[in-house]
C-alpha cells in the first residue's frame, strides 16, 4: 500500500481531508475528456471525417445505453449524461493502468502529511501521486450517491411529490426502501473493488522478480478490459436505476 498526499481543512465543527492524488486524477481525466471532445467537435461537417466519426459513434453508443434504462420518449434527454459519465469513468479507470506515478519511500513532505513515521505506521513502500481516482472508495460513493439523489429529484420532478410517494405504496414497500439504500452501495463497491484490486495486483507484480513480467503484461491487458467493462456497466446501471426511480 502507498501513502497519498493529503491536506486537511479545519472548519471548526469538523475537519475535511482532501486527497491530492484523487483531485489530480479527477482533474486530469476531466481535462482529457474535455480536450478530446473539443478537438473532435471543433470543425463539424455534414460528412464526418477523422475524430468527428469517433465522437459521433460515441454519441450513438450513449444513445443506445440510455435507451436501455429509460422509456423511448424520455431516453434522448439522458444521452448527454450517459456520454459524460461513460467517457469520464472510462478515462479515470484507464488512468491508473496506463499512467501510474509513484515516488519512492525516501519522499519527505511534512506539509502534505508524508513523513517517515506516517509511512512506517501505514506500512507503506512509497507515495502515490497519480492513480485511478475510481480506485478510491470515497470517489465512487460520491458518484453513486449523487446518482441516487439525482434520480430521486428527477422522479419527484416527473411524477410530482404525491406520485413519487405513491410509488412506495405497494406490498413490496419495504423492499423498495431497502433497495434505495442498497443500490448505491453495490453500485459504488462494484466499480471501486474492480479498479482497486487491479491496481494493487499491478503494484505487487511490479515489486516481483523478472519472471513476474509475463503475468504483469497479461494482468495489464485484463485490467484494460475490466476498466472498459466496468465503465460500461456503471453507466448502464446508473441509467437503469434512474429509469426505475422515474417510472415506478
Cβ-based neighbours of 90, under 8 Å, separated by 6 or more: 227, 228, 231
**7: enclosing H helix or E strand:** strand 6-10
Name the minimum Å distance from CB 201 to another protein. 9
Q: Residue 8 pairs with which residues in a beta bridge? A: 17
Of positions 78, 88, 164, 196, contacts another protein by CB under 8 A: 196
Of positions 139, 192, 219, 241, contacts another protein by CB under 8 A: 192
Name the minimum Å distance from CB 194 to another protein. 5
Please say whether the beta carbons of 89 and 97 come within 8 A. no
Of positions 200, 214, 217, 218, contacts another protein by CB under 8 A: 200
Helix axes 51-69, 20-40, angle to 10 degrees: 110
Residue 20 touches another protein, criterion: CB under 8 A: no
DSSP 173: H
Residue 222 touches another protein, criterion: CB under 8 A: no
Distance CA 8, CA 15 (A): 7
DSSP 208: S
Name the minimum Å distance from CB 124 to another protein. 10
- The 126-145 site mask, x for binding another protein (CB under 8 A), equals --------------------
Name the minimum Å distance from CB 145 to another protein. 17
Residue 8 touches another protein, criterion: CB under 8 A: no
**Toward another protein, which CB reaches closer, 131 or 164?**
131
Please say whether the beta carbons of 31 and 95 come within 8 A. no
Name the minimum Å distance from CB 229 to another protein. 5
Of positions 160, 186, 206, 208, contacts another protein by CB under 8 A: 186
Residue whose C-alpha cell is 506516517? 118
Name the minimum Å distance from CB 111 to another protein. 24
Q: Residue 19 pairs with which residues in a beta bridge? A: 6
Distance CA 126, CA 1 (A): 8
Name the minimum Å distance from CB 74 to another protein. 22
Of the candidate spans 89-97, 105-113, 165-173, 230-238, the one that interacts with another protein by CB under 8 A turns out to be: 230-238
- Which of 37, 214, 2, 4 minimizes the C-alpha distance to 112? 4
Q: Residue 7 pairs with which residues in a beta bridge? A: 18
**Toward another protein, which CB reaches closer, 124 or 156?**
124
Please say whether the beta carbons of 22 and 136 come within 8 A. yes
Residues contacting another protein: total by CB under 8 A: 16
Residues that bind another protein (CB under 8 A): 1, 123, 186, 189-190, 192-194, 196-197, 200, 229-230, 232-233, 236
Amino acid at each position: 500500500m502507498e501513502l497519498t498526499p493529503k491536506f486537511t481543512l479545519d472548519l471548526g465543527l469538523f475537519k475535511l481531508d482532501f486527497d491530492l492524488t484523487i483531485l489530480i486524477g479527477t482533474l486530469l481525466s476531466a481535462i482529457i475528456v474535455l480536450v478530446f471532445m473539443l478537438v473532435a467537435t471543433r470543425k463539424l461537417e455534414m460528412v464526418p471525417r477523422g475524430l468527428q466519426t469517433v465522437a459521433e459513434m460515441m454519441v450513438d453508443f450513449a444513445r443506445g445505453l440510455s435507451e436501455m434504462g429509460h422509456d423511448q420518449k424520455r431516453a434522448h434527454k439522458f444521452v448527454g449524461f450517459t456520454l459524460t459519465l461513460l467517457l469520464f469513468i472510462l478515462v479515470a479507470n484507464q488512468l491508473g493502468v496506463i499512467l501510474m506515478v509513484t515516488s519512492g519511500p525516501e519522499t519527505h513532505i511534512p506539509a502534505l502529511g508524508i513523513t517517515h513515521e506516517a509511512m512506517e505506521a501505514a506500512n507503506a513502500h512509497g507515495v502515490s501521486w497519480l492513480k485511478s481516482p475510481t480506485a478510491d472508495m470515497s470517489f465512487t460513493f460520491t458518484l453513486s450517491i449523487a446518482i441516487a439523489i439525482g434520480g430521486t429529484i428527477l422522479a419527484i420532478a416527473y411524477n410530482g411529490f404525491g406520485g413519487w410517494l405513491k410509488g412506495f405504496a405497494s406490498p413490496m414497500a419495504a423492499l423498495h426502501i431497502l433497495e434505495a439504500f442498497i443500490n448505491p452501495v453495490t453500485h459504488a463497491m462494484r466499480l471501486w473493488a474492480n479498479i482497486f484490486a487491479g491496481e494493487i495486483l499491478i503494484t505487487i507484480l511490479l515489486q516481483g522478480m523478472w519472471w513476474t513480467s509475463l503475468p504483469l503484461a497479461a494482468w495489464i491487458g485484463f485490467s484494460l478490459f475490466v476498466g472498459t467493462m466496468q465503465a460500461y456497466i456503471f453507466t448502464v446501471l446508473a441509467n437503469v436505476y434512474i429509469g426505475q426511480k422515474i417510472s415506478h
